[in-house]
Chain A
Amino acid sequence: MTNLELENLGFVPAGPVPEHEVTGGFCCDLLSWAMSRCTEGKVWFTVMGNINTVAVASLADAAAVVLCQEAAWMPDALERAAQQGVALFTTDLPAYEAALVLARKLGQL
């Protein structure tokens, strides 16, 4: 699947969604941890909505970042994501449940 299908799973786009193949999911709120472990094509579930999350997602080639549990993207994060081609989404679900939605879709349960 690609990140364009994330909207069909109930995740709400927070800006442009440049198409990117999805290989799996990744849950983490520590940026250095994510930097070294979030590999290409992962959908990253977090509650950190600042500009640094976008920088890490871009460097890691994440397929998308889903901001969970009603957390809000900072305006400069949205701006940077649009510049760097990082797809951002939001969801009311906690990271655990949001990741389960993706895992079911990917048949990774």
Chain B
Amino acid sequence: MGGIHLHYIVPGDDFTRAGEASADLKSRLKKLGVPPTAIRKVSIALYEGEINLAIHAGGGDIDVEITDDTVRMCLSDQGPGIADLSLAMSEGYSTAPDEVRSLGFGAGMGLPNMKKYSDEFDIQSTVGVGTTVNMAVSIA
């Protein structure tokens, strides 16, 4: 297994730390000379994922693999799961509570943005068990 492997832990309900993983990954990709367009895609997709983990799942884990041509990100949690994935993937649909909306989140753009800015996107969720999202962005 080649490439660079990174692991981040996202705490639940701590919005002051949301974005730390994406900021760190962005910095690393810059140093690796990854094209800005690809860095932007990775940053958006991962930031939205971090926010989702903090808001909806009580936190979770992020595993990243950087190879010569791809950044792969796996976000997993043991949160409540998503009952209706197609509804959750719809732009504008949100179950974020009011306190989260008052911070500027909850526009219903999280999962749609994650899919939009990934070259590969897969989400698996089981109610009461948790959710796993796999995303890949080409950096070649």
Contact = CB atoms under 8 A, between A and B. Distances in A.
B44 A52 contact: no
A4 B107 CA distance: 32
Contacts of B26: 59
Given A30-B109, A32-B113, A36-B117, 20 more contacts: A31-B103, A32-B105, A32-B108, A33-B107, A33-B109, A35-B47, A35-B48, A40-B36, A46-B104, A50-B15, A51-B15, A52-B18, A52-B19, A52-B103, A52-B104, A53-B104, A56-B47, A59-B23, A59-B44, A60-B43
B86 interface: no
Q: How large is the interface on A (under 10, 10 to 19, 20 to 34, 35 or more residues)?
A: 20 to 34
Contacts of B104: 29-31, 46, 48, 50, 52-53
Interface in A39-78: 40, 46, 48, 50-53, 55-56, 58-61, 76
B100 to A, nearest CB: 10
B16 A76 contact: yes
